[in-house]
């Protein structure tokens, strides 16, 4: 820093304030400014986007956006837990409890505060807000003495708060003044579906409710009295009814303000005082407040240009507003809104709607009057097409001849947008406003891999939602430039997973050591790494099906596979026996109950129609499994990248709508494929009729009964990125169904990348579904019989991994907490809740 450096003060250490500091450092602003940052909270800047994860194990350090010494290392003075109480514009000073600090330039990044409606009684003990880490600490403390909780506000923040209360094991309700949840994002149809999905999770929803007062309750701490004199009682009330700009400093220092709050800024983020800028949720631009992170980041970039303009004499960018499209997962429910999602801002707009009440999916497309441009979209229950729709909207791309094909499931030839179809202006990363052109420019100046591109553009370092698209664009552009894209599995193997699979299969290699000696880079580290070891372990299991607990294979396994159980957050393990098709006899139910009682295990029925037992100590696993094996159970492979479950309805055996025996088929499929190790976990579903009670069309393999046989669906999945399965073949008899599933699964095992789900594999498969049908159904490559033989080998060599381990004293030696001590782990502490034990 030179002696002429000006004094720059930034008030606010939230996400936008921190990003502004990052931009200033990156642009070398410390050569011109002595920068001081004031944060009112005691915590350094943290990720508010993932704030709810604070209740699921993350702490303040893991949410922090920088290391402890990052500010000092970059020459920035960070003053936490020190609120600025006033701005003296005449003296050019800010005032805190510790004194007055002069400034030459000042940035307001004070963000917003949670709005609490002026309801009598809203200030009672146990009435809290949901905004900061300290707020969450207060909620957690209050929840320890509560059994019921209410969230006032059914918008984005309100549903996040409801999810938090639900995670704290409170009976939860949401109270919303509007006629529906998330009224800004969804319409009446979408709101009704959202309500159904959230109520199905056990959360009460009360809409069109205006709270008149809060008073003492009879059966709970508080009673909320509504406008119609109906009441709702709860021990804990959380207000999350929206936000308001934190503009008191600006107002008290006589800066120009909006009529409804917010400090007015121009296109350069300047306030009415040219020495003061504002960014983020406190700033009012063109009568709009932007309550998302991405617009705040764009403001931070513009503010950086403005602050550096006197030194680099470059005007820089202007703020021109921001797209408020959002993709969310609230209480596990997907919600997406793009552009003019309600269609009330576009004259003559045409609307397409798709509603599936069985699968609980709603999609709405709003197009221009001439049908050529996408102007808005709305999604509830499935965000699978969000990214494609956003690119059509953001880049003004011509819509396909049938726009409805973008939202209808299983439409053959439905258009997809690959990297080559995106224009240079296409936004890839909205958090950091990185376009395809920015990525191409980075590649043109020497970047040659994804890591370098991310480092130079910051793409995918915000919310991370663009990671897959970014990777696809980078690889496509590198190949277009004649650069060979390195698809090596890791530094130890210059092969893809598919290449290694072929090598292992052709040469009959059965150990990791032999593979790395013959085809790897053993000189780097003959033991391999956390990437190649489990990948090779999966390949070897897929090809030869030897027990994963054999001495040669144990070093390749992760903790879950090593102990054939999923490790839980307190160091205990889950026990999950297989229950094929969800069918279980009363005698076996009794066995599970007695085992759970004997070992004090937490017991839960899962969505996959299994009974999971949680809380087993490591040294207890062999004894537990001995009892289960004696009762006829076998491993459920819940710890493995393999077939997990085959879910079924009751089919024609019991249901008056069933047309085929779905239970019998589900059991047959589960027994057939239970030993198959694969690149990722596999889930099946079998429904006995088109009412689809087993949700087969959300599975890797979905089978739905028809009057003439079975329809086969493939490549669907739930999880973080749900995908609807695609219709693959129709009206199959039992044998043909099995044959096609054999071929499909083995082709997937042979050709997929490591940890690649069937849905992602299908999306990246050249030729798409048509090619897959040609290979599997029509046997275009002439490998059908070979695939069937390989699958039969897996089936013939199956053995229960726990049965194998129980019979081998050497393998049992691993099951103890300490190598030199047989005592149990003393750090495992549990507490009782609802009659069962859980981690303390």
Known binding positions? 649, 655, 689, 693
Tokens of 130: 């949901």
CA-based nearest residue to 544, from 599, 504, 574: 504
Handedness of CA 430, 433, 437, 443 (dihedral sign): negative
Q: Which residues are annotated as a binding site for siroheme?
A: 693
The C-alpha atoms of residue 112 and residue 124 are separated, in whole angstroms, by: 23
Residue-level length of the chain: 840
- Say if CB 502 and CB 489 are below 8 A apart: no
Tokens of 13: 């250490």
Q: Which residues contact 132 (CB under 8 A, 6 or more apart)?
A: 41
- Say if CB 426 and CB 436 are below 8 A apart: yes
**How wide is the angle at C-alpha 816 spanned by C-alphas 575 and 572, nearest 5°?**
40
3 state SS for 363-416: EEEEECCCCCCEEEEEEECCCCCHHHHHHHHHCCCCCCCCHHHHCCCCCCCCCC
Characterize 626-641 residue by residue with b for buried, 16 or more Cβ atoms within 10 angstroms of its Cβ, and e for exposed.
Answer: eebbeeebbbbbbbbb
The C-alpha atoms of residue 682 and residue 310 are separated, in whole angstroms, by: 59
The C-alpha atoms of residue 743 and residue 774 are separated, in whole angstroms, by: 11
The C-alpha atoms of residue 380 and residue 549 are separated, in whole angstroms, by: 44
DSSP-assigned letters across all residues of 505-540: HHHT--SHHHHHHHHS-TTT-TT--TTHHHHHHHHH
Q: Which residues are annotated as a binding site for [4Fe-4S] cluster?
A: 649, 655, 689, 693
How many CA atoms lie within 13 Å of 69's alpha carbon, on the beta-carbon side? 1
CA-based nearest residue to 236, from 252, 207, 214, 262: 214
First to last CA, the chain: 51
Greatest distance between any 2 Cα atoms in the chain? 86
The C-alpha atoms of residue 197 and residue 753 are separated, in whole angstroms, by: 34
CA-based nearest residue to 121, from 198, 23, 221: 221
């Amino acid at each position: 820093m030179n002696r002429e450096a000006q004094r720059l003060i930034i008030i606010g250490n939230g996400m936008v304030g921190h990003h502004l500091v990052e931009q200033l450092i990156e642009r070398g602003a410390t050569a011109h400014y002595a920068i001081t940052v004031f944060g009112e909270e005691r915590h350094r800047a943290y990720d508010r986007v993932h704030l709810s994860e604070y209740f699921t194990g993350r702490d303040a350090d893991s949410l922090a956006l920088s290391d402890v010494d990052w500010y000092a290392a970059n020459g920035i003075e960070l003053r936490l837990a020190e609120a600025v109480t006033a701005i003296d514009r005449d003296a050019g000073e800010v005032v805190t409890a510790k004194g007055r600090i002069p400034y030459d330039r000042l940035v307001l990044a004070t963000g917003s505060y949670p709005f609490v409606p002026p309801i009598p009684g809203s200030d009672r003990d146990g009435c809290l807000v949901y905004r900061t880490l300290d707020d969450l600490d207060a909620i957690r403390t209050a929840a320890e003495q509560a059994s019921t909780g209410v969230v006032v506000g059914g918008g984005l923040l309100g549903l996040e708060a409801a999810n938090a209360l639900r995670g704290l094991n409170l009976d939860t309700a949401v109270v919303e003044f509007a006629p529906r949840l998330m009224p800004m994002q969804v319409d009446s149809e979408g709101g009704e579906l959202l309500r159904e999905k959230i109520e199905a999770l056990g959360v009460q929803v009360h809409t069109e409710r205006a709270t008149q007062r809060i008073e003492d309750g009879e059966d709970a701490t508080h009673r909320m009295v509504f406008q119609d004199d109906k009441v709702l009682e709860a021990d804990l009330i959380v207000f999350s009814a929206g936000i308001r700009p934190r503009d008191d400093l600006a107002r008290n220092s006589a800066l120009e303000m909006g009529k409804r709050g917010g400090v007015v800024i121009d296109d350069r983020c300047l306030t009415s005082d040219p020495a003061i800028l504002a960014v983020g949720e406190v700033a009012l631009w063109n009568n709009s407040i932007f309550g998302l992170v991405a617009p705040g980041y764009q403001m931070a970039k513009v503010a950086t240009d403005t602050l550096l303009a006197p030194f680099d004499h470059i005007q820089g960018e202007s703020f021109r507003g921001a797209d408020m499209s959002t993709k969310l997962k609230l209480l596990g429910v997907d919600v997406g809104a793009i552009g003019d999602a309600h269609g009330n801002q576009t004259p003559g707009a045409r609307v397409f709607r798709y509603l599936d009440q069985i699968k609980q999916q709603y999609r709405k497309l709003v197009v221009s009057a001439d049908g050529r441009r996408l102007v808005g979209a709305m999604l509830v229950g499935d965000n699978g097409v969000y990214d494609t729709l956003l690119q059509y909207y953001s880049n003004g791309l011509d819509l396909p001849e049938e726009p409805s094909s973008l939202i209808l499931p299983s439409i053959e030839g439905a258009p997809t947008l690959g990297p080559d179809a995106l224009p240079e202006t296409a936004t890839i990363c909205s958090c950091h406003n990185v376009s395809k052109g920015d990525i191409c420019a980075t590649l043109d100046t020497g970047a040659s891999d994804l890591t370098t591109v991310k480092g130079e553009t910051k793409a995918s370092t915000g919310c991370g939602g663009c990671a897959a698209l970014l990777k696809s664009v980078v690889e496509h552009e590198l190949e277009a430039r004649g650069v060979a894209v390195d698809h090596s599995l890791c530094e130890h193997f210059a092969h893809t997973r598919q290449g290694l699979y072929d090598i292992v299969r052709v040469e009959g290699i059965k150990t990791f050591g032999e593979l790395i000696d013959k085809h790897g880079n053993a000189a780097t580290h003959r033991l391999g790494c956390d990437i190649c070891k489990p990948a090779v372990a999966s390949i070897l299991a897929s090809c030869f099906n030897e027990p994963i607990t054999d001495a040669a294979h144990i070093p390749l396994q992760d903790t879950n596979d090593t102990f054939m159980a999923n490790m839980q957050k307190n160091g205990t393990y889950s026990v999950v026996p297989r229950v094929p098709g969800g069918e279980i006899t009363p005698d076996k139910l009794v066995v599970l109950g007695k085992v759970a009682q004997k070992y004090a295990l937490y017991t839960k029925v899962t969505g996959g129609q299994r009974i999971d037992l949680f809380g087993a100590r490591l040294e207890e696993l062999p004894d537990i499994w001995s009892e289960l094996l004696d009762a006829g159970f076998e491993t459920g492979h819940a710890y493995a990248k393999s077939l997990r479950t085959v879910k079924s309805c009751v089919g024609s055996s019991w249901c008056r709508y069933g047309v085929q025996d779905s239970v019998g088929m589900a059991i047959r499929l589960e027994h057939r494929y239970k030993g198959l190790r694969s690149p990722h976990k596999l889930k099946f579903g079998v429904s006995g009729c088109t009412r689809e009670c087993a949700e087969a069309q959300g599975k890797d393999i979905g089978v739905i009964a028809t009057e003439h046989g079975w329809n086969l669906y493939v490549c669907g999945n739930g999880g973080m990125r749900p995908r609807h399965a695609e219709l693959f073949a129709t009206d199959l008899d039992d044998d043909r169904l099995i044959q096609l599933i054999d071929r499909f699964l083995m082709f997937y095992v042979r050709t997929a990348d490591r940890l690649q789900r069937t849905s992602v594999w299908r999306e990246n498969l050249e030729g798409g579904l048509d090619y897959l049908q040609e290979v599997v159904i029509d046997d275009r490559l002439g490998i059908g019989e070979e695939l069937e033989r390989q699958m039969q080998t897996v089936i013939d060599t199956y053995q229960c991994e726990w049965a194998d381990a129980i019979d081998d004293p050497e393998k049992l030696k691993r099951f103890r907490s300490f190598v030199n001590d047989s005592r149990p782990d003393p750090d495992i502490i549990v507490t009782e809740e609802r009659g069962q034990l859980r981690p303390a």
